[in-house]
Structure 1
């Protein structure tokens, strides 16, 4: 059982509620057997969750746009649509710029890819089914900061 504080049960007044919206909430509460407060709480919760989700998607689109611009200017190299690839420290350094790994089924970061190399040369890892981090001294949380839509990370 949860203990409610005395303030939780006090009525809350919200000014400026549209009368038509209130009437619709009242009708819905009668249909569902819920209180008007429960209906309003559900509606606000759903709205706020949708807005949070939308903000995340907008941020993701913004990131992809910036990556596209950087790629167009030659600041990034994109490696994409590959079944499996293993990269070494030397291979990353030989490019001389950051890399985006996108749509790779299995990406293996070699044992010699240390934290410094990873942070300097790997911009992002997107839509990878399995990411293998062979260097145990490369923290997974450091790697995860550059990952989006990665299904599995292993050693």
Structure 2
């Protein structure tokens, strides 16, 4: 089945209140219910498959904790949803370049979701990035300057396929390629 074809699935036995909260959270995150469900299923399967028996124990405990959280902590869930209201969700973009000015101009934290290629400019430092970008989810490729700490940056990422650490500025690389092409032609 191609990614453009959509198939409808019926799931019986869902808790109506849980589904309502789930779908409202998806909307607040800028995702469709289907996209959010796919991510939830992917995260649960990843947890369960995490190194055999240990993963099963963690998965069972995570399921218990999630169940307890949903049953006993509607207040905490509402607080989590409120914190989402204080963020800007940017999603569904092929390529996005983010500069220091872009981050300084925004008055809330940003969640970046479902972006194919993300480029963080060299003028962005870790302090500003950490302050303004809450999380990065479902991105195929991210290019960051080498002064951004990789592991701290990676903690903000979920389901990111590739993080590239650049040692040169993009503009310099482009101009070098142009001058190399000119000298090759001569």
Whether these two folds match at TM > 0.5 is: yes
User: Is contact 1:84-1:104 (8 Å) kept?
Assistant: yes
Counterpart position of 2:153:
143
Work out which of the residue numbers 37, 57, 63 in structure 2 matches 1:51.
57
Work out which of the residue numbers 92, 115, 118 in structure 2 matches 1:107.
118
SS at match of 2:55: helix
Q: How does 1:90-105 map to 2 (within 5 A)?
A: 90-105=101-116
- TM-score under structure 1 length normalisation: 0.58
SS at match of 1:130: strand
**Structure of higher RCO (CA pairs closer than 8 Å, 6+ residues apart):** 1
Gaps of 5+ in 1: 1-44
Change beyond 3 A, Cα 1:52–1:81:
same
Counterpart position of 2:28:
none
Residue 125 of structure 2 is aligned to residue 78 of structure 1: no
Q: How many residues get paired?
A: 106
> How much has 1:145 moved relative to structure 2?
1.1
Distance in structure 2 (CA, Å) of the matches to 1:79 and 1:54: 33
Distance in structure 2 (CA, Å) of the matches to 1:110 and 1:67: 30
> How much has 1:69 moved relative to structure 2?
3.4
> How much has 1:48 moved relative to structure 2?
4.4
- TM-score under structure 2 length normalisation: 0.49
SS at match of 1:132: strand
> How much has 1:65 moved relative to structure 2?
8.3
Note the aligned Cα RMSD (angstroms).
Answer: 3.0
Gaps of 5+ in 2: 1-50, 71-76, 166-186
Counterpart position of 2:12:
none
> How much has 1:66 moved relative to structure 2?
6.7
Change beyond 3 A, Cα 1:56–1:111:
farther
Distance in structure 2 (CA, Å) of the matches to 1:140 and 1:109: 13
- Look at both structures and tell me which one has the larger radius of gyration over its CA atoms: 1
> How much has 1:71 moved relative to structure 2?
3.0
Q: How does 1:1-155 map to 2 (within 5 A)?
A: 48-53=54-59, 68-72=81-85, 75-133=86-144, 135-155=145-165
